[in-house]
Amino acid sequence: MILQDRVAIVTGAGGGLGRAHALLLARHGAKVVVNDMDQSVAVRVADEIIAEGGQAIAAAASVTEETQIATMVERAMSRWGRIDILINNAGILRDKSFAKMTLADFRLVLDVHLMGAVICTKAVWEIMRQQQYGRVVMTTSSSGLYGNFGQSNYGAAKMALVGLMQTLALEGEKYGIRVNSLAPTAATQMTNGILTKEALERLDPKLVSPGLLALVGENAPTRAILCAGAGHFARAYVTLTEGRYVGNADDAGERVIARWEEIGDRFGETVPPYGFTQAEHELASAGCAGKVLAGGH
């Protein structure tokens, strides 16, 4: 029961991955807020948890509606007095090639995946800061990390969540808040009609959820991207190569082209601890020694 007495919110938990996440967290001792837009399915999952001896409440709310999310958070605080874990799982698909996609469908997907996670995280952030403890998981995707045909909107939203994770992990560190990302592959309503029957059978959502335990427990990492599917787990990284200095001569562009393979050589690449690492690396290569940040940053 490694999550004993922890309070968790799981968005989009009425079915698929969210349901699997909620059930697993509850089985490990967490008290769970089961969120979904559909009250009936949220109640059904909450009842499953309660039937197994756990504690849960159902909360119908859209992640894009700030007032609804605020009410959900207030209910959890009123019931249990704290919020330790937030799983930003809610999402939708509007797949089409970029040429055929409407801007409305692009905005809608970004609104649900990205702004939905922002709204939910913002609603619990100060609570976690005050209690000096928090675990937040963003749901990213290989479509964002590596691209996928017909998913420019979804991929953009999912990669944006990685950027959100990177910064929130830095800002939350001194408050005991750890922020990570899960990139799942699972058979859900969102993948119906895309994968074969055999693939769907092997990609049971419950085979993804165990990865959450590593991301939300007492000894959770921070800024990790965990890829999970069919019982297999891997880590993804955003890395920086050593690169090459070409200077500021008139032919700098030609030099970049000529040294392209060297610039992209992955030997010695690193995972930067923060974004400004790139600038520090570039300035050092240009011969700028010593402190480069002004104003005590």
Residues annotated as catalytic (active site), given as ranges: 154
Residues 6+ apart with CB under 8 A from 71: 61
Cβ-proximal residues to 241 (8 Å cutoff; 6+ apart), any chain: 263, 264, 265, 266, 268, 269
Hey, what are 215's tokens? 């991301």
Residue 23, class by beta-carbon neighbours within 10 Å (0-12 exposed, 13-18 middle, 19+ buried)? buried
Q: Contact 184/229 with Cβ under 8 angstroms?
A: yes
| Contacting residues for 157 by C-beta, under 8 A, at least 6 apart | 109, 110, 112, 113, 114, 144
